[in-house]
């Protein structure tokens, strides 16, 4: 099992890498709570659809901008570890304030405004340290084991997030049945804050090698953007940003669809989210191993098209077990996409530039996510209820959000098809076809056999034509 292997080999020999996995496990409780239950908390506070979109994206955008500040700080601090510990400790305090919000706000508008502001503070304290963490962990993880290490670490994060989802969902349903939902949110957000303090302790156990950056490694955001036509990494950033833009048009509103339109209970909502979480943590290690062997661009190509297909499946059924199965499918491709995006940064950027490039990537992506979510929140109010097509075909979606999902899916396919071709793999890797990659991921050797059959058949036909000529 991956739990026992996580302490073997190069991880067991490194105090910093062991601490990184434990820091990640503690942080997974916090981020799992934030990612899964901050929007339901907004819905509990009676936020509108557009307010939910702002809650989901505006804090992320401001947080992404704080990464630029973090990159600036990384050139001026002597200890990266000290800043990481301080930011994590400050981040923990935000969660107590969020938990108390439903007890202290005097009106709906005031409570939503305060929630968005506190979410902004959470994202700032979280993202301020992100480029510095990327810089430090990039120095600590051996080059040849990056994919394996992050696969193992992300698998642990996924497992802990899954447990967090289950526990938080049960707490919320139990307290809701008692008419004490606000106490349920207080408990889970307090737990998120305590977990972040535990993460700060493990961050303090990292080694803190000296870091310096020369003037030649410093460049402005504008200079970075202007290099998009020439820079391989900048083209990669544009690909990621546009994919996230397409996702953000619909992504923040899935919780609204589940809780408001389908009227799922918190337990049912937890099950839907957990289905994706568990498939992600079970997939992470395999994707990490494959990225080491076959490169991150190939993983991104396969997974981006998988992600593009997801919204179309949401149009077919609102059966609960169908949706849970679709979440499993979604989690597999998102696991590969996320790990490949993270690893591509480490492969493509030299250590002195890593913090700055990570910050610029996050900032640009944050802008695209904010724009996408705002567009989605605005147009959903103006979508017609009925659609007529050729040959007398009509479509009457049960929710306008389904139309938003369709738009998101179309855009994902367009950006994935066009922009994946614009950047290339940066290290020497073994070539592999899509079918062989999926076979290697799933462990189903029959896919290889089918591929080999058609390849051999095509080769025999070509050789026969050459002999005739």
Please tell me whether residues 17 and 164 are part of one structural domain: yes
Please tell me whether residues 351 and 469 are part of one structural domain: no
Inside any domain, residue 137: yes
Looking at residue 468, what is its pLDDT?
Answer: 47
Q: What is the mean pLDDT of residues 25-41?
A: 83
In this prediction, residue 105 has a pLDDT band, given cuts at 50, 70 and 90, of low
Domain hosting 371: range is 2-208+219-383+395-432
Inside any domain, residue 192: yes
467 has pLDDT over 50: no
Inside any domain, residue 289: yes
For the stretch 252-289, pLDDT in tens is: 888 888 988 888 888 888 889 888 888 887 888 788 88
Inside any domain, residue 214: no
Lowest mean pLDDT among 32-36, 52-56, 269-273: 32-36
Please tell me whether residues 265 and 342 are part of one structural domain: yes
* b/e map 291-305, b = 16+ CB within 10 Å: bbebbbbbbbbbbbb
* b/e map 277-287, b = 16+ CB within 10 Å: bbbbbbbbbbb
49 has pLDDT over 50: yes
pTM of the model: 0.71
67 has pLDDT over 90: no
Please tell me whether residues 306 and 446 are part of one structural domain: no
Please tell me whether residues 25 and 125 are part of one structural domain: yes
Please tell me whether residues 408 and 469 are part of one structural domain: no
| Separation between Cα atoms, residue 189 and residue 181, nearest integer Å | 12
Inside any domain, residue 130: yes
Cα angle 351, 352, 357; round to 5: 85
Retrieve residue 401's tokens: 């959000």
Please tell me whether residues 187 and 146 are part of one structural domain: yes
Inside any domain, residue 389: no
Please tell me whether residues 8 and 24 are part of one structural domain: yes
| Separation between Cα atoms, residue 400 and residue 60, nearest integer Å | 25
Please tell me whether residues 107 and 202 are part of one structural domain: yes
In this prediction, residue 13 has a pLDDT band, given cuts at 50, 70 and 90, of low
Please tell me whether residues 304 and 452 are part of one structural domain: no
In this prediction, residue 391 has a pLDDT band, given cuts at 50, 70 and 90, of low
Inside any domain, residue 213: no
Residues paired with residue 387 on neighbouring β-strands, in sequence order: 395
Q: What is the mean pLDDT of residues 452-468?
A: 47
Looking at residue 433, what is its pLDDT?
Answer: 77
Number of compact structural domains in the chain = 2
For the stretch 402-437, pLDDT in tens is: 989 999 999 999 999 999 989 888 887 777 777 788
Please tell me whether residues 292 and 413 are part of one structural domain: yes
Please tell me whether residues 15 and 39 are part of one structural domain: yes
Looking at residue 198, what is its pLDDT?
Answer: 92
For residue 65, which of 126, 116, 128, 129 has the smallest C-alpha distance?
128
| Separation between Cα atoms, residue 13 and residue 276, nearest integer Å | 32
In this prediction, residue 309 has a pLDDT band, given cuts at 50, 70 and 90, of very high
Inside any domain, residue 390: no
454 has pLDDT over 80: no
Looking at residue 247, what is its pLDDT?
Answer: 94
Looking at residue 415, what is its pLDDT?
Answer: 94
What CATH code is carried by the domain that includes residue 345? 1.20.1250.20
């Amino acid at each position: 099992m991956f739990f026992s292997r996580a302490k073997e080999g190069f991880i067991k020999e490194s105090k910093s890498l062991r601490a990184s996995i434990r820091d990640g496990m503690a942080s997974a409780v916090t981020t799992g709570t934030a990612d899964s239950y901050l929007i339901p908390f907004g819905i509990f506070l009676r936020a509108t659809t557009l307010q939910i979109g702002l809650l989901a994206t505006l804090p992320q955008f401001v947080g992404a901008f704080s990464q630029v500040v973090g990159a600036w700080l990384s050139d001026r601090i002597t200890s990266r570890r000290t800043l990481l510990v301080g930011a994590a400790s400050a981040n923990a305090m935000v969660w107590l304030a969020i938990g108390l919000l439903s007890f202290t706000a005097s009106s709906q508008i005031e409570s939503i405004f305060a929630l968005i502001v506190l979410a902004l503070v959470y994202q700032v304290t979280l993202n301020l340290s992100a480029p510095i963490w990327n810089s430090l962990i990039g120095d600590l993880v051996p080059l040849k084991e990056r994919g394996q290490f992050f696969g193992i670490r992300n698998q642990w994060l996924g497992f802990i997030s899954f447990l967090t989802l289950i526990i938080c969902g049960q707490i919320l349903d139990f307290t809701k049945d008692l008419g004490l939902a606000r106490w349920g949110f207080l408990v889970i957000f307090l737990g998120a804050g305590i977990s972040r303090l535990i993460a700060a302790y493990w961050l303090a156990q990292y080694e803190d090698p000296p870091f310096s950056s020369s003037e030649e490694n410093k460049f402005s955001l504008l200079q970075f953007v202007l290099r998009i036509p020439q820079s391989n990494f900048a083209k990669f950033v544009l690909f990621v940003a546009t994919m996230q833009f397409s996702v953000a048009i619909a992504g923040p509103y899935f919780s609204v669809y589940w809780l408001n339109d389908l009227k799922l209970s918190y337990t049912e909502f937890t099950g839907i989210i957990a289905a994706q979480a568990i498939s992600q943590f079970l997939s992470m290690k395999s994707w990490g191993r494959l990225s080491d062997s076959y490169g991150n661009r190939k993983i991104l190509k396969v997974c981006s098209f998988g992600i593009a297909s997801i919204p179309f499946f949401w149009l077919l059924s609102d059966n609960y077990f169908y949706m849970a199965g679709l979440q499993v499918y979604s989690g597999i491709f998102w696991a590969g996409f996320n790990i490949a995006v993270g690893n591509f940064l480490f492969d493509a950027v030299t250590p002195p530039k890593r913090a700055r490039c990570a910050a610029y990537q996050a900032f640009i992506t944050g802008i695209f996510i904010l724009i996408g979510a705002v567009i989605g929140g605005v147009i959903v109010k103006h979508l017609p209820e009925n659609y007529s097509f050729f040959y007398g075909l009509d479509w009457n979606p049960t929710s306008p959000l389904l139309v938003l999902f369709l738009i998101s899916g179309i855009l994902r396919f367009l950006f994935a098809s066009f922009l994946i071709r614009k950047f290339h793999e940066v290290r020497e890797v073994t070539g592999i076809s899509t079918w062989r990659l999926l076979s290697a991921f799933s462990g189903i050797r029959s896919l290889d056999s089918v591929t080999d059959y058609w390849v051999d058949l095509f080769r025999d036909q070509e050789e026969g034509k050459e002999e005739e000529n």
